[in-house]
Amino acid sequence: MLKKYASLRDAFHQARGAMGNPFDVTFDAILSPTTARLGDRTVLLLGTNNYLGLTFDSACIADATEALRQEGTGTTGSRIANGTYGVHAALERRVARFLGRRDAMVFTTGYQANLGILSALAGREDTLLLDADSHASIYDGARLAGAQVTRFRHNDPADLDRRLRHLRDRPGEKLIVVEGLYSMLGDTAPLREIAAVKREHGAYLLVDEAHSLGVYGDHGRGLGEVAGVESDIDFVVGTFSKSLGAIGGFCASDLPDFELLRLTARAYMFTASLPPSVAAGVSRAFDRIDQQPELRQRLKLNAERLYHGLRAAGFVLGPVPSPIVSVRLSDPALAMRYWNELLTAGLYVNLALPPATPENQSLLRMSVSAAHEPEQIDRAVEIIAAIGTSLGVRSAMPDVAAAE
Amino acid sequence: MQATEDAVQAIAEVVRSLKNPAIPQDLPIAADTTLAHDLKLDSLAVMDFVMALEQRFDTVISMDDLPDVQTVGDLARLLDAQPQPAASLS
């Protein structure tokens, strides 16, 4: 049955034979948003997507605990059967209010939000135009939709425009799908230009703010708020598992009859709803985002500190400073070894390997939190630089030093 | 339908221009060259390859058509079938 994965098995066994398995790290205790225990070591966490550090927020924990005691461990049912409680409805109103939208639907995960929304929105006659670097959940949702699908070059409004011109006479609706902040290299979408293309062609626009909600914008509404194009965005998708520190996904919209998607999005209908404790904790996390703009400011400073620290140390990074900072390496074997040595030195980052990465790059992917102390960032830079020197990675980048 | 030689040659040029280290550079590329076995393109690499072709041919290929594409010839026929003929290339 699994013979088709022979080459994957070989690669996996080879990697695992030499070192620890980077895809099977099991933390023995989570000590804080930025530290964990792994065996007898305390590890600095620099790859958690916990952008605002809200996983240990006392108010979120208090509300989640109260809901856990009052309403139990789980709903044991789907949103369209027995799985909608007051907390779910309240969370949907909270999401809609936060984003200034008429309606919002809450899903059990962010992955399911894209799966459910894309497959329900686009029918066979419609066309989906996906940014080439879109997350797997977007590709999977597009495949389930059965719509015509075309990818445009990453962050390239001109290529999007070219494709929409070609498709002008094709019947059906056109839905453009982009992300606010891209999870592998930390680059952001040129939303203003994309919105202009959308308007010109009368298409719809969906923006996945999974990594940018709570992170970007004066009010934390994401990249759409920064770009000033929220009125051009027809659907905002996002997750509760990053800046909001829990789990779950959503889609918010002003579209009339949006609620029909509750009866057509299969990833919404045929899975159990969020535990009430999670829904209650997430509602409170939105309050924290409203009440604590300083979290976003601290996150920004930490992100710049890490980005500029690594750049000064001679590493090749993504194009702009953002809470996602990735060191680009060309060789997966080197990346594996680097990753292992970082962990041995007490630093956890994400290892991202092809084909999950743009342009087949191997990445040491880091994400910064508002909860990091500046000293932790500095220590991380020191560890990364020291191992980079011992592995010959930094000295192998003469052109980078010249470009500084 | 026979794939046009023009389209096959244009695809061969795009393959070379990709500079994908997985692709054997000395391999002769013809209509019966397979994308997966001969060119060592996995499904994601095929999608990137098709994006380069779409730009070169100034056309749009639906991803739904790709599962049926096994060879360079299949791809050439698909390109030939698009509203913008390969001959419009310069």
Give the pLDDT confidence score for residue B41 in this predicted structure: 85
Give the pLDDT confidence score for residue B90 in this predicted structure: 39
Q: What dotted CATH number matches A57-291?
A: 3.40.640.10
Structure tokens at A210: 């999974």
For the segment A141-150, what is each residue's pLDDT rounded down to a tens digit? 999 999 999 9
Tell me the pLDDT band of A395, cut-offs 50, 70 and 90: low
Q: Does the distance separating the beta carbons of B47 and A132 come in below 8 Å?
A: yes
Strand partners, A45: A348
Residue B44 contacts A, CB cutoff 8 Å = yes
Q: Which domains does chain B have, with CATH numbers?
A: 2-82 (1.10.1200.10)
3-state secondary structure chain A: CCHHHHHHHHHHHHHHHHCCCCCCCCCCEEEECCEEEECCEEEEECCCCCCCCHHHCHHHHHHHHHHHHHHCCCCCCECCCCCCCHHHHHHHHHHHHHHCCCEEEEECCHHHHHHHHHHHHCCCCCEEEEECCCCHHHHHHHHHHCCEEEEECCCCHHHHHHHHHHCCCCCCCEEEEEECECCCCCCECCHHHHHHHHHHHCCEEEEECCCCCCCCCCCCCCHHHHHCCHHHCCEEEEECCCCCCCCCEEEEECCCCHHHHHHCCHHHHCCECCCHHHHHHHHHHHHHHHHCHHHHHHHHHHHHHHHHHHHHCCCCCCCCCCCEEEEEECCHHHHHHHHHHHHHCCEECEEECCCCCHHHCEEEEEECCCCCCHHHHHHHHHHHHHHHHHCCCCCCCHHHHHHC
Structure tokens at A334: 């080197």
For the segment A110-138, what is each residue's pLDDT rounded down to a tens digit? 999 999 999 999 999 999 999 999 999 99
Burial class (CB in 10 A: 0-12, 13-18, 19+), B68: exposed
Residue B16 predicted with pLDDT over 60: yes
Nearest-CB residue to B60 (from A142, A153, A166)? A166
Q: d(Cα A153, Cα A129) in Å, to the nearest integer? A: 10
Class at the top of the CATH hierarchy for domain A3-55+293-403: alpha beta
Nearest-CB residue to B47 (from A151, A162, A360)? A151
Average pLDDT over residues A354-368: 88
Top-ranked range on mean pLDDT: pick from A56-70, A349-363, B59-73:
A56-70
pLDDT over 90, % of chain A: 88
Nearest-CB residue to B59 (from A166, A355, A360)? A166
Q: Does the distance separating the beta carbons of B55 and A159 come in below 8 Å?
A: yes
Nearest-CB residue to A149 (from B48, B55, B62)? B62
pLDDT over 70, % of chain A: 96
Give the pLDDT confidence score for residue B1 in this predicted structure: 56
For the segment B46-76, what is each residue's pLDDT rounded down to a tens digit? 888 899 899 888 999 988 888 889 999 999 9
In one letter, which amino acid is B86?
A: A
- Average pLDDT of chain A? 94
Higher pLDDT pick, B80 / A16: B80
Partners of B65 on chain A (C-beta within 8 Å) are: none
For the segment A22-31, what is each residue's pLDDT rounded down to a tens digit? 778 999 999 9
Q: Does the distance separating the beta carbons of B48 and A132 come in below 8 Å?
A: yes
- Its pTM stands at 0.93
| Domain residue ranges in chain A | 3-55+293-403, 57-291
Q: Does the distance separating the beta carbons of A167 and B51 come in below 8 Å?
A: no
Instruction: Please give the DSSP secondary-structure letter assigned to residue B25.
Output: T
Q: d(Cα A273, Cα B29) in Å, to the nearest integer? A: 52
A→B interface, C-beta within 8 Å: 132, 142, 148-151, 153, 159, 162-163, 166-167, 355, 360
- Picking from B54, B58, B59 by the largest number of A CB atoms within 10 A of its own CB, the best residue to mutate is B54
Give the pLDDT confidence score for residue A404 in this predicted structure: 41
Name the minimum distance, in Å, from the CA of A268 to any CA of chain B.
25
Question: Apex CA A83: angle with CA A82 and CA A84, to 5°?
Answer: 105
Average pLDDT over residues A92-108: 98
Give the pLDDT confidence score for residue A64 in this predicted structure: 98
Name the minimum distance, in Å, from the CA of A353 to any CA of chain B.
13
Give the pLDDT confidence score for residue B18 in this predicted structure: 75
Residue B48 contacts A, CB cutoff 8 Å = yes
Partners of A8 on chain B (C-beta within 8 Å) are: none
Residue A233 in contact with residue A195, Cβ under 8 Å?
Answer: yes
Query: For B63, which residue in chain A has the nearest alpha carbon?
Result: A149
Residue B88 predicted with pLDDT over 50: no
Coil vs helix vs strand at B34: strand
Residue A201 in contact with residue A168, Cβ under 8 Å?
Answer: yes
Residue A164 predicted with pLDDT over 60: yes
- Picking from A129, A143, A149, A154 by the largest number of B CB atoms within 10 A of its own CB, the best residue to mutate is A149
* Reported ipTM exceeds the 0.85 cut: no
In one letter, which amino acid is A60?
A: C
Measure the N-to-C terminal CA separation of chain A; round to a whole number of Å.
52
Q: Does the distance separating the beta carbons of B62 and A150 come in below 8 Å?
A: yes
Q: Which are the catalytic amino acids of A?
A: 183, 211, 242
Q: Does the distance separating the beta carbons of A151 and B63 come in below 8 Å?
A: yes
